[in-house]
Amino acid sequence: MNPKSLRDLRGPGRPAGGKPPKITFPCRYPLKVVGDAAEDFAATVCQVVSRHDPDFDASNLKVVASRNGRFQSVRLTIRATGEAQLQALFVELKATGRVHMVV
């Protein structure tokens, strides 16, 4: 999968000035990770997220299948400590080759 084909949907919500909205770190940060449906997709996402948030609690994880069952979204919340952490997490999720979108 070409990394350029992946979309970061957080971008379009930015103000007209082009600067991202201010986030006060640390904070609880919700994520939705979308990829092809597979039995181990949620586990793969959890492994990556755990490397970036050692205190990640997978018990609040929610997996939702698409209407036709082709895709899955994994909804979770992490403890974000900074922009660098979020960027590294996003890059590693994309590098799995299984993630289509991170919202």
The residues, ordered by sequence, that sit 6+ positions from 19 with a Cβ below 8 Å of its Cβ are none
* Cα 42 from chain centre: 11
Q: Are 46 and 57 in contact (CB under 8 A)?
A: no
Confidence band, pLDDT 50/70/90 cuts, at residue 84: very high
Q: What is the pTM of this model?
A: 0.79
> Residue ranges per domain, the chain?
3-9+26-102
Question: In this predicted model, what pLDDT tens digit does every residue of 18-76 receive, in sequence order?
Answer: 676 688 999 999 999 999 999 999 999 999 999 999 999 999 999 999 999 999 999 99
Strands (E), the chain: 7-8, 27-36, 62-65, 71-80, 99-102
The superfamily (CATH) of domain 3-9+26-102 is: ACT domain (3.30.70.260)
